[in-house]
Structure 1
């Protein structure tokens, strides 16, 4: 078992304090520690050893948290997976992360093929007592592999160490002072860093994690009304829907972190005027979540900024020649700090290009003003962030290109008040092709999860290209804006 298991220290410090709270669940820290101990023994009985990668396929619930902590307790590495992906995509991730054992929750509809079945086990043991097992003390540094989309088709698994997660909490806590009286709403999926961080922040501060019935807007609204969280994390799409429902912040709410994609100034202003204590944040999986913040008071002065770095994070702007330009000059954003991941799992090529000495190149273009506030301009690559989901346009383009009657295609992201960005497919038909937008979407529904399917399809006679035959994405944007 792991020595100095910091993630459950409040099981001894404040054993009667509520750790997990929801409509159908309430666990104290002592009860959580007991269930983790039991489930850890179950995992040992499955043959899981320190350093093994263990997949978790589950919605947000107490079982996810128990399984995660049990995996860490025995010094294994957790690999949370997006259960909304197609089965074949999940299996690809299992292979890429070298997952030896996968835990699948009964409420997920994921069906693993026979190739992986022998190493797939249920969560049902979380509520049962399992016989204690003896295991030598261990201290595995790696905690987590979280997958993130990028410019390449192959998903990249970010390796996060326990020290990265604790460093992230410490830097954020230095500003916002989490206390045992706080209650954190688990409003984002645990397989995303924004949602996952709710777990780690709560456990390290001895606060309660509130589990809504689901992540649908109605259930989030009900949880806000019933449980009065003091801290919530939302992507802009969620915030917009809550405002449209007329949901007002409760008196207990002191922080509403907004990140995970572009947040339009009008949306933030509307939320602030209605009393929401908005804090714009910016970060990534590779940086263990947020690295900058802009509170609602600062927003009035710099509405287009994403704020200043949290303590412990140093930002630099790197130009195309690798130099650091002056104030207000654009370049790629680099962050240095102890929350920066060690690299990508089994992917030295991309790791070498982006990670070095606790530093990470964010892939975003931006600039710092004379007071150190960060402003984002655009992505260095073409990654589209829609509703908090990272979407690689190349992946979508490759699937569209397989549709009979499609000559070529370009996938772009257009600004949208609800989603931040929406996916748009621009298609050139083959001669005599009669396909339409519905045909395209029907084909894609069989090949891609819903959030990767373009919301709009445009057909054009030709796509703008360079002299070398490369599609000019910027000109495609201009073309579509005129339609």
Structure 2
């Protein structure tokens, strides 16, 4: 890639031994291997159709041949993908890998203008898109080559695959630092940035997931996909593919909890990856008790800490299957793990609030503003180093300079470790606010509020105040049928926290605004408060 040089120089020869090449297995070799070893085993199941590993391998080769011959894709070409979860999206990933191209998936719920930015900033020259996104195609007017999923013309994905079926495409030779995936950050501050994931570092990530998150994984794995393949769920399914296991996709449309549990029972699902808010929906719906879920071994949650009240409920409902990990897209989910054996419903047995210990091969360092490592129980920025850390942000030297210090990646999250190295997240550094000169960490207040009977979701954030600098406001969602007032919230908190930590205003929403991944973010809540006129624009900045 002429404009993407992420290859690190090899170390100088030591003792007369010349450095070896950095050649690694192309990630598409997982598919090649599965087609050889498990040709008739299911790779993808979706809406009643099963694609075996042999069928998927043939379809990926056909797509790769078309991308190469008709659309000029070569090693290093960036391919933008705007699609909901479907078998074609998973196939597009492997086709890019096979050619040594870079897979650039978007969050399909983003607006046309937002996706146009991703297209322009990534330098993509081919776009694969669902037919339901014509406005996104129009907005990406810098891309003149298109493949349409569910189209009706010559550029239709399945038509192209049929035309090139039978083509044999070998996996492109790749080096450790060759990019394979632009993983866009969520853009909680400013525009999303493209984190560069490479073939070599992703091989470590896959192995680490298999060892630390899903030990004992094998060809009998079956994963239910309940999150967009464009981000963490895509990495998780690559891990399942490495084990030879298949995946079940939910039907398109709104998330249906009952349908999810039905699929778990029907296909003997062994694992799923999701976020705490979706786990909460899954275990609180009556359908959880209407279907056989005895096949489940791991319900993996990440993306945000799970509130203790929700954690207890899920443990009592599902049993010892919860796996928590902490990891940003830039570290591809590889910072800490809290396995099922360390999840307990009783507080006396549980490290309450911990997201676990360091992942194999990774190191966590809690640092102050100058980069000095802090002692156990001292709060600072969570920094991390190890093979799972990404190569850097594409074409963004300023962001790279801010994000790395002394060899560590700076996560922007705040927390501390205990004497045994278990990590406790206080919150995002951007979530912390200062009231009357004192630091306030919203998570402490949120955890206490969730023990108030009648509340099901809460968020606390700071807004500017002319007297105190900043004061807190709380946004709450009451459980159906419950009656909770602002006075109830304030009086409940007063004996439990210092006065400056008590929110000055309490708002009640019917439901909490969430991102397309099911996360509750302070940025989105702040925007919603402004839109509803509950705080002024000036007060919310």
Residue 55 of structure 2 corresponds to which residue in structure 1? Answer: 31
Does the 8 A contact of 2:61 with 2:168 survive in 1?
no
From 107, 116, 131, give the equivalent of 2:142. 116
Residue 104 of structure 1 corresponds to which residue in structure 2? Answer: 129
1:3 to 1:281, Cα distance in 2 relative to 1, 3 A: closer
Does the 8 A contact of 2:112 with 2:136 survive in 1?
yes
1:202-256 superposed Cα distances (whole Å, 9 cap, x missing partner): 1111111111113603332332232221011121111111122121471110110
Alpha-carbon distance in structure 2 between the residues aligned to 1:185 and 1:356: 38
Alpha-carbon distance in structure 2 between the residues aligned to 1:89 and 1:179: 39
1:357-407 superposed Cα distances (whole Å, 9 cap, x missing partner): 86311110111101110000111124999xxxxxxx9xxx9xxxxxxxxxx
**Is 1:231 aligned to 2:254, yes or no?**
no
Residue 275 of structure 1 corresponds to which residue in structure 2? Answer: 318
Does the 8 A contact of 1:149 with 1:155 survive in 2?
yes
Residue 513 of structure 2 corresponds to which residue in structure 1? Answer: none
From 174, 183, 193, give the equivalent of 1:139. 174
Residue 246 of structure 2 corresponds to which residue in structure 1? Answer: 208
TM-score relative to the length of structure 1? 0.78
Alpha-carbon distance in structure 2 between the residues aligned to 1:370 and 1:186: 36
**Is 1:56 aligned to 2:81, yes or no?**
yes
Q: CA deviation at 1:136?
A: 10
Alpha-carbon distance in structure 2 between the residues aligned to 1:34 and 1:166: 23
Residue 437 of structure 1 corresponds to which residue in structure 2? Answer: none
From 339, 362, 376, give the equivalent of 1:295. 339
Q: CA deviation at 1:107?
A: 4.3
Give the aligned length.
415
Does the 8 A contact of 1:343 with 1:355 survive in 2?
no
- SS of 1:158 mapped into structure 2: strand
1:135 to 1:272, Cα distance in 2 relative to 1, 3 A: closer
Does the 8 A contact of 2:336 with 2:355 survive in 1?
yes
Residue 381 of structure 1 corresponds to which residue in structure 2? Answer: 430
1:463 to 1:30, Cα distance in 2 relative to 1, 3 A: closer
1:128 to 1:412, Cα distance in 2 relative to 1, 3 A: farther
Q: Please report the RMSD computed on the Cα atoms of aligned residues, expressed in angstroms.
A: 3.3
Alpha-carbon distance in structure 2 between the residues aligned to 1:233 and 1:320: 34
Does the 8 A contact of 1:198 with 1:209 survive in 2?
no
Alpha-carbon distance in structure 2 between the residues aligned to 1:135 and 1:184: 28
Residue 45 of structure 2 corresponds to which residue in structure 1? Answer: 21
Relative contact order: is structure 1 or structure 2 higher (C-alpha 8 Å, sep ≥ 6)? 1
- SS of 1:116 mapped into structure 2: coil
From 173, 176, 180, give the equivalent of 2:219. 180
Does the 8 A contact of 1:151 with 1:381 survive in 2?
no
**Is 1:320 aligned to 2:363, yes or no?**
no
- SS of 1:289 mapped into structure 2: coil
1:244-273 superposed Cα distances (whole Å, 9 cap, x missing partner): 212147111011011112311000100101
Does the 8 A contact of 1:330 with 1:367 survive in 2?
yes
Does the 8 A contact of 1:337 with 1:358 survive in 2?
no
1:376 to 1:452, Cα distance in 2 relative to 1, 3 A: closer
Q: Which runs of 5+ in 2 are unaligned?
A: 1-23, 150-155, 345-349, 433-441, 444-460, 464-469, 480-520
1:288 to 1:459, Cα distance in 2 relative to 1, 3 A: closer
**Is 1:347 aligned to 2:396, yes or no?**
yes
- SS of 1:102 mapped into structure 2: strand
Q: CA deviation at 1:303?
A: 2.1
Does the 8 A contact of 1:294 with 1:307 survive in 2?
yes
1:50 to 1:225, Cα distance in 2 relative to 1, 3 A: same
Does the 8 A contact of 1:315 with 1:335 survive in 2?
yes
- SS of 1:343 mapped into structure 2: coil
1:103 to 1:204, Cα distance in 2 relative to 1, 3 A: same
Residue 501 of structure 2 corresponds to which residue in structure 1? Answer: none
Residue 353 of structure 2 corresponds to which residue in structure 1? Answer: 304
1:360 to 1:244, Cα distance in 2 relative to 1, 3 A: same
Residue 337 of structure 1 corresponds to which residue in structure 2? Answer: 386
- SS of 1:334 mapped into structure 2: strand
Q: CA deviation at 1:128?
A: 1.0
1:62-119 superposed Cα distances (whole Å, 9 cap, x missing partner): 0001111111111100000112111111111110111111111224464322723523
Bigger shift: residues 351-360 or 78-87: 351-360
Structure-to-structure mapping, 1:419-438, within 5 angstroms: none
From 200, 211, 234, give the equivalent of 1:163. 200
**Is 1:7 aligned to 2:51, yes or no?**
no
Does the 8 A contact of 1:171 with 1:310 survive in 2?
yes
Residue 261 of structure 2 corresponds to which residue in structure 1? Answer: 221
Q: CA deviation at 1:137?
A: 4.8
1:93 to 1:382, Cα distance in 2 relative to 1, 3 A: farther
- SS of 2:200 mapped into structure 1: helix
1:461 to 1:128, Cα distance in 2 relative to 1, 3 A: closer
